[in-house]
Structures are given as structure tokens and as C-alpha cells.
Amino acid sequence: MHPLLFLLSLFPTFVFAAGLPQTRGVHPSFLSQYKPKGTTWTCLDGTKTIPWSAVNDDYCDCIDGSDEPGTSACSGNTFYCENEGHVGASIPSSRVNDGLCEPACCDGSDEPAGVCENTCAAVGELYRQKQEAARKLQKTGSKIRSTYIAFAQKEKKRLETEIESSQMEIVRHEKEVARFRVLVERTEALSEEVLEHKKKSPLYTSLITHHNALKSLQREHKRHLEREKQLSDILDTLRHGYNPNYQDMAVLEAVRGWEYLAGLPHISEAEREEGGDEEDGATAQVDEVKEELEEGEWSVRQLEQQLDELLNVDHTSLLMEHDSYVDEPASVSPSHDIKAYLPDFLIPQYEFLRDTLVSGLQVLGIVKGSSTAASGWTKATKAREKLNDAEHGLNLAQKHLEDAREELGDLFDPTRYGAEGEWKKLHNTCLRKDTGDYVYEVCLFEDARQNPNHGGSSFSLGKFASWNPSLGVIEGSKEYYHTQVYSHGTRCWNGPERNVKLDLTCGTENALLTVTELEKCEYLFTGTTPALCLPLEDETESPKDEL
């Protein structure tokens, strides 16, 4: 550039700098420190005193650069734009007098007069409209949030009532168990000899033999199923990994045989390069051959679901019930049934006294009827049934108490439902987003899923693991509740487990807004919820002060 043109380009800057007020570019919080003492002024770091006229003269005199708040003479400074009619802002001083209008300085004060248009009136109006809309949204959302907190308080009272009720139930059941246990000990002592005799019967011996044989068959069946699974995995690996170009007919025949047996489609070369067809749920499954079962035979589903229950039957109790059934009279006249007129808590004592009396009369030959052994056996059976019922009732009451205490502990836990319990009402609230091919769903505090719209398999994207685990995020802080993590979903084909990060913001609805797959099997969901709409700190606070 010609030297004369260069000097002319700098002329406006010199003129501009020569007439600058000393407080130009100073942040309001520092204005009190920009006052001269006579004709001098001391740098903010206290290291140097300069003429007041040297402040904002476009020459850096102070080590800390505090003498040039309104120019770019000192590096590392910031310039404050007043932006009257909008919100003040600070920009790096290196951008001052660079010929570019900074959007943050809508008043154009970062450049010489006339270079940048003052747009603060329009920008400020738009800003205030957005701020007002945001405040209204937050205010409405906070009202909804307050109903969530009220719900948590009701839950607290309900759980406290349940805990108190369960404690009373436990005391009552403990007394019943103690009473029936004493009765069982007495009656079983009388029937122990009878029990040993009954166990020698051909019926009981055969029953135990069948039980042991069935248990052995189940063990072998499970072992064969595991071996079949291992062989299936080997053949699946061969099916996806073999090279058909080698024309190995033995391998090809094995693959085709496995596809026919398992009902799988043949994989084309293009599909093989894309990674297989199972990922898209395209695997066809042949219908199971329905075999005709003879009367009383079990289906495969019954074997899978009911066999363990059958093997866990208490054969001693079964034998006792059988004898009780055989010895039970066909009918009893209501007028002769004394138990019908007794309260429940007296029935065990009545039965014990009755059976003891009848047994004694039978021994003396005064009364005929079932044998003493059978009578004692029936008495022990009924006593054991009552004890089992009482113990079952006690276990249920204890489990109910444990669950209620755990739920109450989670209610105001910052790592669970928040310090105010505002998230409790949203437990298992499901948010959905239809993207065309899939419907993505996250049920808060439970799990996330990917459901296809046009057939195929549904995949788990993970179960709720924690709130925001990022380093530096304080437990229970506002930022802490803006993110939920769902992990350990269904493993991708030849990849990692699926997982989801759910980013939430304040909104008047519980909604899922966007779904993005950042990396393979790594999903980012965004959504809104009133649970994040905290109450406004000051309803009269002006938007300008919010900066």
C-alpha cells in the first residue's frame, strides 16, 4: 500500500482516539475506580501513576492495561458496550476499531462514530419479547412443577401410613405364627411315628422315585439345550463368515442345512458385506411343528414354565393331604359342626382338645372311628396348614413394609426423585418420538426402546442408570437434573451395547423433541418437562438485570 494511503487509513482512528472520554469501554462495576486525583490517575494494579489525559489515548501505559478500556492498545483487555435500550455486553478489546461491527455491541460503540448503525432499539425489543416468552413458559411450568411437589407430599403421607399399618400387621402376624408354631410342635410330635410309617408305603416310595427320575431328566434336558445353543452359535458364525467363492461344498451343505433347520433365509453376498440381516429384524422364523399331544401330556411351554413348580412340591405335605382327603367324611351336618359357632382364634384349641379326647376314647375302646394315627395325622396336617398361612401373611407384611420404606427413602433422595420429590410423579411416564421408520420411547426412571413401524424386532436402548454423571456436575444442582443416562441396552450387531443420553429443559409438557444417533448405538434424546421449571426468583426483576 502507498504510504500516503496507509496514513490516511489511520487518520480516523487517531482523531477518534484523541477525543475519547476516559470512561469509555469501562464496565459499570469499575466506573468508581476511573476518577482522577487532580490531573493524574493511578493504574488499577497500583504500580504506576499517569496523567488523566493518558487514559484512553490509544497508548498502553499501565502494565495491567487498565488505562485503555476503550481502545485496542493493550492486549487481553475487554471492552464494555453500554447498548442503551438493550443489554450491555463485553467483547475482547482486540475487536475495537477493527472496522467490523460486532453483533454484541448493537450501539456500534466499538467502532468510530458513523461506522456502525445503532440497532439496540430493535434488538432490545426482540430480546425482551423472547425473555418475556421464556419467563411466561417458566412461570407456567413452575406451577405444574408445584403440583408434582404436592404429589410427592401426598405420597409421603401415604407411605408413612402404610408403614405404620404394616408394622401393626407384622405384630399381629408374629403372634399368630408363634401360637400356631406351638400347636404344630405338639401335634407333629404325636404324628411323627405315623409319618415314618406312611413314608414306607408303595405310593410314597414310587412318588419319590418318579420325582428323582424327573429331576434327572430335567438336568439332562438343560445340558442338551446348552449344547444345542453352543452348536447354533458356531453354525451362525460359519453362516455369516464363510467364503462361498471357495466352492467348499461341505461347508455350503452345512450352512444350507442349518438355514433349513433353523428357518433362516439364505444371506446374499450383498447382505453379507452389509453385516447380515438379523440387525434389521429380517430373520424369518419357521412355525414350530405342532405335534399332537396325548391326553395329559405337557407342551414345551408347560415344561419350561411349570416343571420347576412341580419338582418343588413338598411330598410329605402332599401325603398328609392325601390321607386327610381319604379320611374326611362325605358330609357333616351344620347342626353338629361346633366350629361354625366358634370364633376363629378358638378353633385351633378346639380341634386340639377334640382330637386328643377322641384319640383317648378310641384307645379305651369306648368310641370307634378312624385310627388314633389317622386322627393325629389329620390334626398335624391342619395345624401345619394354619402355620403356613400365618407365616405367609407375615412374609407379605414384612415385604410390604420393606418396599414402603425403600420407596419413602427414594422420595426425597437427590440422586433419585430430587430434594423436593418433584420427579416422583413422572416415574414410568413414557415419552415417544415417531421418526418414520421407528418410534423411540423413553419411560422415565425405567427404560428406553426403539420400536419399528414396519415390522421387525424391538430393541432395548438401555435402563435408567443415573442422573448427569459428567465431571464437575454437583449432585442435586440444576445442571445435574438436566441429563439422564440409560445404559446396557441390547448389544448391536458386532458392536457395543445400546445406550441413551436424555437432555431435558424446562417446558410446559413432558415431551420428546429430537432423537439423534451420535455414534453407532449411542443415542442423544432431547425433551422438555415442567419438573425443571424452577420458580422465578423475582417477578418484578427487569430483563436488563438478567445479564
At 475, list the grid cell: 449432585
Neighbours of 189 (CB within 10 A): 11
Between 119 and 353, the higher pLDDT residue = 119
Neighbours of 329 (CB within 10 A): 7
**Residues 28-77: tens digit of each pLDDT:** 999 999 999 999 999 999 999 999 999 999 999 999 999 999 999 998 89
The answer to whether 473 and 492 have CB atoms below 8 angstroms apart is no
Could you tell me which residues are beta bridge partners of residue 146?
none
- Percent of the chain past pLDDT 90, that is, above it, reads 49
At 104, list the grid cell: 454484541
Q: How many CA atoms lie within 13 A of 308 on its CB side?
A: 4
- Percent of the chain past pLDDT 70, that is, above it, reads 77
- Rounded-to-integer distance, Cα 487 and Cα 426, Å: 19
Between 257 and 78, the higher pLDDT residue = 78
The answer to whether 493 and 477 have CB atoms below 8 angstroms apart is no
Q: Is 542 exposed, middle or buried (CB count within 10 Å of its CB: 0-12, 13-18, 19+)?
A: exposed
- Rounded-to-integer distance, Cα 426 and Cα 431, Å: 10
- Rounded-to-integer distance, Cα 287 and Cα 259, Å: 14
**Residues 310-329: tens digit of each pLDDT:** 778 777 767 766 666 665 55
DSSP-assigned letter for residue 328 = S
What global pTM score does this model have? 0.55
pLDDT of residue 415: 92
* Average confidence (pLDDT) over 173-199: 77
DSSP-assigned letter for residue 264 = P
- Rounded-to-integer distance, Cα 42 and Cα 48, Å: 6
Q: How confident is the model at residue 9 (pLDDT cuts 50, 70, 90)?
A: very low
Alpha-carbon torsion (303, 308, 311, 315), positive or negative = negative
- Domain segments of the chain: what residues? 1-118, 153-284+301-333+372-412, 428-537
Mean confidence (pLDDT) of the chain: 81
Is 428-537 a domain of CATH 2.70.130.10?
yes
Q: Above 60 in pLDDT, residue 332?
A: no
pLDDT of residue 216: 84
From 51, 139, 39, 123, select the one nearest 81 (Cα to Cα). Answer: 123
- Rounded-to-integer distance, Cα 318 and Cα 74, Å: 96
Neighbours of 365 (CB within 10 A): 7
Q: How confident is the model at residue 91 (pLDDT cuts 50, 70, 90)?
A: very high
pLDDT of residue 283: 41
pLDDT of residue 540: 41
DSSP-assigned letter for residue 48 = -
Q: How confident is the model at residue 185 (pLDDT cuts 50, 70, 90)?
A: confident
**Residues 304-313: tens digit of each pLDDT:** 777 787 778 7
**Residues 465-524: tens digit of each pLDDT:** 999 999 999 999 999 999 999 999 999 888 889 999 999 999 999 999 999 998 888 999
Q: Which amino acid does the sequence have at 268?
A: S
DSSP 5-51: HHHHHHHHHHHHHHT--TTTT--GGGGGG---BTTEEE-TTSS-EEE
pLDDT of residue 535: 92
